[in-house]
């Protein structure tokens, strides 16, 4: 099993760093989405928001045997 967990840190006005904290027993692949649009495939990335409205950040992780969260 795999459990997708991440943290976010505001670095500056509307600039955030997102970091994977997922729990898994093997190597993971990453898909980060902001408002359902792909933004990164790395375990950590920074993103500058436009400051308007709310945003949904999603992390999808998949382990080596295809388990996904």
For Cα atoms 38, 34, 6, give the angle at the middle one, nearest 5 degrees: 100
Instruction: Write down the pLDDT at residue 24.
Output: 87
Separation CA 9–CA 19 (nearest Å): 8
Residues 62/32, Cβ–Cβ less than 8 Å: no
Nearby residues of 9 by Cβ (< 8 Å), 6 or more positions away: 16, 17, 19
What is the distance between the alpha carbons of residues 41 and 66, in angstroms, rounded to a whole number? 16
The pLDDT averaged over each successive group of 10 residues in the chain (69 residues) is 94 97 92 98 97 93 93
């Amino acid at each position: 099993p795999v459990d997708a967990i991440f943290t976010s840190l505001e670095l500056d006005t509307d600039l955030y760093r997102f970091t994977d904290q997922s729990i898994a027993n093997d190597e993971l692949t990453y898909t980060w989405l902001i408002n359902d649009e792909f933004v990164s495939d790395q375990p950590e990335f920074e993103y500058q928001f436009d400051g308007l409205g709310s945003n949904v950040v999603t992390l999808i992780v998949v382990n080596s045997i295809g388990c996904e969260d």
